Amino acid sequence: MSTRLSGPERRQSILKEAQQLFAEKGFHGVSIDEIARAVSVSPAILYRHFDSKQSLYDAVLQELSSQRESYVDAVVNSDANFEEVLIGMTEVFIRSIDENPNLLRIEMQSLLDGNPATSEFFENRWKSFTDYINFSMNERLAYDVYNREITILSASLMFQGMVREALLQKYLQPQDRLVDISLTELSRELVTLFLRAIGIHESTLAQKDINPIQLNQHSS
Amino acid sequence: MSDFDSELDASGLNCPLPILRAKKAIAGLEGGQTLKIIATDPGSVKDFEAFCKQTGNELLSSGEEGGKFVFMIKKS
């Protein structure tokens, strides 16, 4: 026998179960009946709150986007140099997945689902990083650098690939090699490697104990 | 006569760029001067509220104009 919930409470419990199921099985892998069963209501009651699976799915995304991570702290609590802000942003981003790994699962599912709403939602999450890297590199990279545009584009792709893979390994792989690495360590190491790859050696972070590998081909 | 001293167009940019550029623009202002910011990222509404709260600058107004978000910030 299901307990009586108020309208908003019922809606909330449907959203919660739906998020879980969409994360595990993807949009096409879940039926309305299955979600209704998980909430212990009839499909008819579920349809009172959401008129289709798509609208329920959109509401799940809407709810996830309202928990949007804020990068304000990363800017305000630093002297706003590229390296520190990028570290701060990466920490915030990784923490958002740590708090709710369903975000990562839904993102992975959506890559194959081809659902436009989801693609837009996740592209927008990564856009904070790609915008920031593009803009900052555009400001600091000399104008005569060979293949300048492609270099900048590749750098933001590299960053996204690197962070996403680390998150996949940490949160979705059953054998977790990264279990003992803290979020802070992970973001610092990834960002430090990234900075070194794009030729930033003089960062305040890299001063600690990084091997002085010189990748700069221009200076002899 | 305009009611702001400096203007920043951060259209098309996602957080944290609008905040970062605003921080730099405000650094170039005198106390009491006003910066107008235009942004398109819906998250910027909450972000600029938080930004002003944390930096002590005054958020004079926050609104929407023709599909864009417009903020007026007075440097403390």
Task: Based on the residue annotation, tell me whether B15 is a catalytic residue of this protein.
Answer: yes
> What angle (nearest 5°) sits at the alpha carbon of residue A150, between those of residues A148 and A151?
65
> B-contacting residues of A 45-84, CB under 8 Å?
68, 70-76, 80
Instruction: Determine contact, residues A200/A77, Cβ cutoff 8 Å.
Output: no
Query: In which residue are the tokens 């001063």 written?
Result: A207
pLDDT of res. A1? 46
Give pTM, 2 decimals.
Answer: 0.83
Could you tell me whether strands B58-65 and B34-39 are parallel, antiparallel, or unpaired per DSSP bridges? unpaired
Q: Could you tell me how far CA A215 lies from the centroid of its own chain?
A: 29
Would you call A70 and B55 a contact, using CB atoms and an 8 Å cutoff?
Answer: no
**Mean pLDDT, residues A118-128 taken together:** 86
Q: Which two tokens stand for residue B42?
A: 């819906």
pLDDT (tens digit per residue) in B26-62: 999 999 999 999 999 988 999 999 999 999 999 999 9
For A217, the 3-state DSSP assignment is coil
Residue A17 backbone phi and psi in degrees, to 5:
-65, -40
**Mean pLDDT, residues A39-66 taken together:** 92
**DSSP labels, B31-47:** TT-EEEEEE--TTHHHH
Question: Domain map of chain B by residue range?
Answer: 6-74
Task: Give which of A68, A69, A75, A76 to mutate to test B binding, by max B Cβ within 10 Å.
Answer: A75
- Marked catalytic residue, from B4, B5, B9, B15: B15
Distances (CA, A) of A83 to A17, A35, A86, A153: 39, 44, 5, 18
Distance CA A123, CA A144 (A): 30
Banded pLDDT at A2 (limits 50, 70, 90): low
Distance CA A34, CA A40 (A): 10
1.10.357, 3.40.50, 1.10.760, 1.20.140: CATH of A68-197: 1.10.357
Residue A66: partners with Cβ closer than 8 Å, 6 or more residues away:
none
Give the minimum alpha-carbon distance from B2 to chain A in angstroms, rounded to a whole number: 28
Given a cut of 70, is residue A18 above it in pLDDT? yes
Question: Domain map of chain A by residue range?
Answer: 7-65, 68-197
Distance CA A181, CA A158 (A): 21
Distance CA A203, CA A83 (A): 7
3.40.50.2300, 3.30.110.40, 3.20.20.140, 3.30.70.3270: CATH of B6-74: 3.30.110.40
Distance CA A135, CA A190 (A): 20
pLDDT (tens digit per residue) in A92-117: 999 899 899 999 999 998 888 877 77
Under 8 Å CB pairs connecting chains A and B tally to 50
B6 touches chain A (CB under 8 A): no
Would you call A128 and B15 a contact, using CB atoms and an 8 Å cutoff?
Answer: yes
CATH of domain A7-65: 1.10.10.60
Distances (CA, A) of A127 to A58, A176, A177, B59: 20, 28, 28, 26
